[in-house]
Amino acid sequence: MNENTIISTIIYTFLAFTLLAVTLVIFYYFSNKKITKNLLQKKELEIRYEKDLTHAIISSQEKERLRIAQDLHDDISSKLSVVSLNIHLLDTENLTQEEYIELKNKIINLVNTTAESARQISHDLLPPVLEKFGLHAAIDALCSEINMSKTVQVSYSNSLYFAKAEDEKNLHIFRILQELINNSVKHGESTRIQIEFKGKEGKNTCIYKDNGKGFDPEKNTLKEGLGLRNIRSRVELINGTLRIESENGKGITVEFTF
């Protein structure tokens, strides 16, 4: 092999390595650029999801405040106005004893029904059973109330311990079940609901099932309705995970951890 051949071989080898190096640099640059772009898109989606979640929570809170305000105005305020009117009627001249007793009894009945309305609104805000006796008793009472209707039967079993001190977490779990039951009855037209709390794969888990109409998770708008967003938000707040399975005509299965 002469000197020129050796030099040519060295040059071609150098050029080949240079070309390979440039190719690797370009590949790395565009790969890194693509990865960065994907990460940015993922971050943007996460930020958008968090914003949507926040908006859903705020919207839900405002709707709840509006509902409470309407209840206070339409129910309690109107009853108190009638009570006030009847009290003034007690000062009417020439009022017979029978009329006086009738007015007094009417006032007492109105006060009692107003107190009951106030109790119900208070119950909706924070169930007394939950506050006094804990989550297990509150869920049991909720299921008993539903079962009294005779149209929907709820079975409930629990092998977990709910710490009474964890008030905020317990309230979120209770509200999740309320929302699920409301969806089963209102949208799913269910007649049977099953609620089970147990340990699964090292996590506290709730498994909720109904025999309602179900829905197609890929098509049905119920999947991302406000009720489900509220459930997702509450599951996020208790650092849990949420899984939903459903088919048309085959009910729904919801599993969440906490």
Q: Are residues 78 and 17 in the same domain?
A: yes
Q: Are residues 237 and 187 in the same domain?
A: yes
Domain edge (last residue) among 106, 124, 142 = 124
Cα torsion through 98, 103, 105, 111, rounded to 10: -170
- pLDDT of the residue at 173: 93
N-term to C-term CA, the chain: 76
Which range scores top for mean pLDDT: 55-69, 87-101, 229-243?
A: 229-243
> Which pLDDT tens digit goes with each residue over 90-110?
888 888 888 888 888 888 888
> How large is the average pLDDT for residues 46-60?
69
State pTM to two decimals: 0.57
Q: Let me know: does 83 contact 111? Beta carbons within 8 Å.
A: yes
Q: What region does 190 belong to: left with phi over 0, alpha with psi -120 to 50, or beta?
A: beta
Check which CATH number belongs to the domain holding 140 and give it: 3.30.565.10
Predicted confidence band at 58 (pLDDT cuts at 50, 70, 90)? low
Residue length, the chain?
258
Q: Are residues 133 and 120 in the same domain?
A: no
Q: Are residues 146 and 248 in the same domain?
A: yes
Q: Record the tokens describing residue 63, joined without a space.
A: 């709707």
Predicted confidence band at 117 (pLDDT cuts at 50, 70, 90)? confident
How many domains are there within the chain?
2
- pLDDT of the residue at 60: 66
Range of the domain at 23: 3-124
Q: Are residues 183 and 253 in the same domain?
A: yes
Q: Record the tokens describing residue 99, joined without a space.
A: 């009329």
Q: Are residues 109 and 145 in the same domain?
A: no
Provide the 3-class DSSP secondary structure of residue 49: helix
Which residue carries 């999947």 as its tokens?
A: 223
Q: Record the tokens describing residue 145, joined without a space.
A: 């109330």
Q: Are residues 55 and 100 in the same domain?
A: yes
- pLDDT of the residue at 193: 95
pLDDT of residue 223 exceeding 70, the answer is no
Amino acid at 5: T
Q: Are residues 176 and 99 in the same domain?
A: no
> Which pLDDT tens digit goes with each residue over 120-135?
776 666 677 888 888 9
- Spatial separation of the C-alpha atoms in residues 234 and 178, rounded to whole Å: 12
> How large is the average pLDDT for residues 71-85?
79
Q: Are residues 183 and 245 in the same domain?
A: yes
Considering only CA atoms, which of 226, 145, 154, 139 is closest in space to residue 187? 226
From residue 217, how far is each of 168, 202, 212, 228 by CA, in Å?
Answer: 30, 28, 14, 12
Q: Which residue has the higher pLDDT, 183 or 32?
A: 183
> How large is the average pLDDT for residues 138-146?
91
> How large is the average pLDDT for residues 3-17?
72
Domain edge (last residue) among 98, 124, 150 = 124
> How large is the average pLDDT for residues 225-243?
83
Q: Are residues 161 and 224 in the same domain?
A: yes
Predicted confidence band at 54 (pLDDT cuts at 50, 70, 90)? low
> How large is the average pLDDT for residues 179-192?
87
Residue 74 main-chain phi, psi, to 5 deg: -75, -35
Predicted confidence band at 255 (pLDDT cuts at 50, 70, 90)? very high
pLDDT of residue 26 exceeding 80, the answer is yes
Q: Are residues 135 and 251 in the same domain?
A: yes
> How large is the average pLDDT for residues 166-189?
87
- pLDDT of the residue at 122: 66
Domain edge (last residue) among 124, 151, 168 = 124
In the chain, pLDDT over 70 holds for what percent of residues? Answer: 85
Q: Are residues 17 and 53 in the same domain?
A: yes
